[in-house]
Amino acid sequence: MRVRVATTALGITALAVLALPACSTEAQPASVSSPSGGGKTASAEQTEASLSSAVLEERLLNESDLGSGYTRKPEQLAQHDDVTVLGCPALNDLGGDAATGGSLDFTRQAKATFAYNGSSSSEISEELYSDAPAKLSAGASRIYDAMTGCPRYQVLVGDSAIDITTQKVPAPPLGAERWSQLMTFSVGGRDTVVKQSAIRDGSVLVIISGSPALVDRHIDSALTKAVAR
């Protein structure tokens, strides 16, 4: 993952760096669940067109959606600290950006991170992706399966070691597919709990990362705005 917790929903490093004292924030990760009965049929989803990155950008949550006190943080350039995952072969097998917390491999995407009154403990991030439903499903499932398949492992980010434990939690009954997980990052005697929920609805994948309360509060509205038709 990138060296910023709210950079991507599926990175290990970004999540891990959240726990580092100098970069305390909240965000990212999850578990696969089966499609809901009320979702679209597979044939109907396949005909749904992907959205451009420009459209996705317009459908991100903004300050007015989140409420007073929230400010969007400027995008930061990706950093390239050495990252090593210990005790989770499935994550190592992913290779490339997936294993190190880079963005999902979909060209159509948009992201935003918000902080409440400048507090790193009240950050929330959103990622939107669009592609063929089958590709979104396979890509998200592959990474989430790897992440949640290791209940405990360690990530080395530069000279810092972060112990990580994962716990699958129920995802909200939204969309066609959904993932949700809690992760606890332990470093220097300090624990940080972050939650990440992801919802796929047709050709759109929505990922919200942050403190459990913030994720639960905004995931529904984020999905509604992202798939507005």
pLDDT exceeding 90 applies to what percent of the chain? 40
Location of structure tokens 């935003």: 112
For residue 109, give every residue at least 6 positions away whose Cβ sits within 8 Å of its Cβ, in sequence order, or none. 53, 56, 103, 127, 128, 129, 130
Query: How many structural domains does the chain have?
Result: 1
Q: How far is CA 175 from CA 41, 51, 152, 193, in A?
A: 12, 17, 29, 25
Distance CA 220, CA 229 (A): 16
Render pLDDT for 121-169 as a digit per residue (tens, 0 to 9).
678 999 999 999 999 999 888 888 888 888 998 888 778 888 999 899 9
> What pLDDT is recorded for position 152?
92
For the residues 198-215, what does the mean pLDDT come to?
A: 94
Domain that holds residue 71: 5-226
For the residues 33-56, what does the mean pLDDT come to?
A: 63
DSSP string, the chain: --SSGGG-TT-HHHHHHHHSGGG---------BPPPTTSPPHHHHHTSPPPPHHHHHHTS--HHHH-TTEEEPPP-------EEEES-HHHHHH-HHHHHT---S-SEEEEEEEEETTEEEEEEEEEEEES-HHHHHHHHHHHHHHHHT-SEEEEEETTEEEEEEEEE-PPPS-SSEEEEEEEEEEETTEEEEEEEEEEEETTEEEEEEESHHHHHHHHHHHHHHHT--
> What pLDDT is recorded for position 142?
86
> What pLDDT is recorded for position 59?
97
> What pLDDT is recorded for position 120?
63
> What pLDDT is recorded for position 226?
97
Lowest-pLDDT range, 29-33, 58-62, 70-74, 174-178? 29-33
The domain that holds 195 is classified in CATH as 3.40.1000.70
Q: How far is CA 53 from CA 2, 59, 172, in A?
A: 20, 10, 26
pLDDT band at 71; cut points 50, 70, 90: very high
Lowest-pLDDT range, 15-24, 76-85, 149-158? 15-24
For the residues 26-32, what does the mean pLDDT come to?
A: 37
**8 A C-beta contact, residue 33 and residue 21:** no
Triad 224, 226, 228: Cα angle to 5°: 65
Is residue 53 packed enough to be buried (19+ CB in 10 Å), middle (13-18) or exposed (0-12)? Answer: middle
* Model confidence at 178: pLDDT above 50: yes
* Model confidence at 16: pLDDT above 50: no
> What pLDDT is recorded for position 123?
85
User: Is pLDDT larger for residue 145 or for residue 218?
Assistant: 218
> What pLDDT is recorded for position 157?
77
Q: Output the CA torsion 3→204→106→153 (10° steps).
A: 40
**8 A C-beta contact, residue 134 and residue 141:** no
pLDDT band at 4; cut points 50, 70, 90: very low
